[in-house]
Structure 1
Amino acid sequence: MTTSIEWTDTTWNPVTGCTKISPGCDRCYAERFSERFRGVAGNHFEQGFDLTLRPERLEQPLHWRQPRMVFVNSMSDLFHKDIPDDYIDRVFGTMERAWWHTFQVLTKRSSLLRDYLKRRYRDRLCPRNIWLGVSVEDSARLSRVSHLQDAPASVRFLSVEPLLAPLGAVDLTNIHWVIVGGESGPGARPLDPVWVRGIRDQCLDAGVAFFFKQWGGFRPKTGGRSLDGREWSEFPTIEPETYRDAAE
């Protein structure tokens, strides 16, 4: 499915639905969207945001011939505790077979991601076309970064969205890409530009690619994406080919 998410080309949802585990989930866009269609017969979201396996979608990427950046489970979390390991195996099997795509797997359940990857890739790294990421919304969730760093991934990224509080110092060792954004939608919590600058500057110092997605419901007085008189386009951003090469 095509998407308006700026850092990917398409979404693939072999699972839909989820449950909340931290403050970043409080105003989940996927839940808000899905629940609009609960009970609508024949709709993909007839079950609302209840966790639902979608085995009929498992092989969809194999039929997409042109290479794409694919965000996996934009409407769920692949490492939800109620998703069986053998089903996750099937998702990873498709990603491994569809080597011409780049898959972006993002989770808040970082310890389960780490443990699964260590079981599946005991003596090697996860294939380079599968990027693994964790969501981090505040400093209390920085342990997710450590879990990701401990996983046998080739490319690792952080989604700092929605950013709800300053992160402080972040260990960016073996992190390749950081996405930052504010919360959008009804009741969006504000984003302080100082928090964004802090992450941006750490990425610049560490040579880590930085992508600023959106202010969300907050708009700085400077307008646009400009901070400190500099345009965000001046800062390093993700380039798929670059990171495939970096993982060689």
Structure 2
Amino acid sequence: MSAESKIEWTDRSWNPTTGCSKISPGCDNCYALSQSKRLKAMGAAKYQTDGDPVTSGPGFGVAFHDSALTLPLQWRKPRRVFVNSMSDIGHAQINDTQIARIFAVMAAAEQHTFQVLTKRPKRIAKLLTRQSFVEHVHDAYATLPQNASRVGAPVWPLPNVWMGTSIESDDYCWRADELRATPAAMRFLSLEPLLGPLPSLDLTGIDWVIVGGESGSGHRDLDLDWVRDIRDRCLGCATRFFFKQVGGVRAAAGGRLLDGRTWDEMPELAGSR
């Protein structure tokens, strides 16, 4: 899957961290891994840390980038922002303090809507329910210069932050349970690349579902019946449904139609109610 396809449902991506490692089958053809290798070869400063050659690779070592941390505070026009399109905020090498700083910036940049996606929802659920972590977020928020004149701490959970997790096969439907346990204004699932049917998936408490097939030279084929089943269950419980792509050698190869139409349902953005 290309980076462009990955973030087509956002206005911008924001990568205060980069790098990751394979933890489940959906990672096997990771676009970010191959893109990091290219960026390292091109000399891109943020992609010079190598990861484990078995689970990661050149330029894909986990790194925290202070220089990128406050970028959203410079964007005046409200945006939908995909957090860490080239990483995973829940990775063990991103420490609690760093994650708190990321949440503090999201709290301060309240005009934007942030979409945080992780394959490690268990860690994130534990972290966001811990009072000491919330206090760390408040402390980091107070140190941002633009917050000097503000009174009080930000509302928790942050109303402009959507929390999501990735599920590619039925073996990983437990990630939705961890997401349900996570304090969040909006919860979403990224079912991509969808590698099989998801009969065990429970959509209770899930606001939005994104489904997509894999793209790239080694893509695994998508069966549209898997997608239809998920769509029908979303329609039955008022969960918004977004079908990103069928997939193929190129992201756009299979198109976006499902039963003769596109499906572009999304939750309302923060501040639009």
Deviation string, structure 1 residues 40-61 (Cα, Å, up to 9, x no partner): 4454323311111111111000
SS at match of 2:40: coil
| CA deviation map 1:100-122 (0-9, x unaligned) | 00000000001011011101359
What is the identity percentage for the equivalent residue pairs of Structure 1 and Structure 2?
Answer: 49
1:211 match: secondary structure: strand
CA distance in structure 2 between the aligned counterparts of 1:191 and 1:132, rounded to whole angstroms: 25
* Aligned counterparts, 1:46-57, within 5 A: 46-47=48-49, 48-57=59-68
Corresponding residue of 1:126: 157
Alignment of 1:18 with 2:49, yes or no, is no
State whether residues 121 and 152 of structure 1, in contact with CA within 8 Å, keep that contact through their aligned partners in structure 2: no
**May I ask how many residue pairs the two structures share in their alignment?**
237
Q: After alignment, is 151-160 or 165-174 more displaced?
A: 165-174
Structure-2 residue corresponding to 1:171: 202
2:112 to 101, 118, 131: 101
- Given that 1:156 and 1:177 are in contact with CA atoms closer than 8 Å, whether structure 2 keeps it comes out as yes
Could you list the runs of 5+ residues in structure 2 that have no partner in the other structure?
A: 50-58, 136-154
Residue 92 (structure 2) pairs with residue 62 (structure 1): no
Match of 2:216? 185
- For the 8 Å contact 1:110–1:147, the answer to whether it is kept is yes
Q: Which amino acid in structure 1 is aligned with residue 61 of structure 2?
A: D
**TM-score relative to the length of structure 1:** 0.89
> Secondary structure of 1:38's partner?
helix
Which of 40-49 and 30-39 deviates more? 40-49
Distance 1:21 1:154, change over 3 A: same
Structure 1 outlier segments of 4+, above 4 Å: none
What residue in structure 2 maps to residue 201 of structure 1?
232
Structure 1 segments unaligned to the other structure (5+ residues) = none
RMSD between aligned alpha carbons? 2.2
8 Å Cα contact 2:83/2:114 also seen in 1:
yes
User: Match for 1:145 among 163, 167, 176?
Assistant: 176
How does 1:67-82 map onto structure 2 within 5 Å?
Answer: 67-82=78-93
TM-score normalised per structure 2: 0.81
Alpha-carbon distance, 1:39 to partner:
5.0
Task: Go from structure 1 to structure 2 and tell me whether the alpha carbon gap of 1:54 and 1:146 turns closer, same or farther (over 3 Å shift).
Answer: same
Tell me the amino acid that sits aligned with residue 203 of structure 1. C
Q: Deviations over 1:14-44 (max 9, x none)?
A: 0011111000111100001011233544543
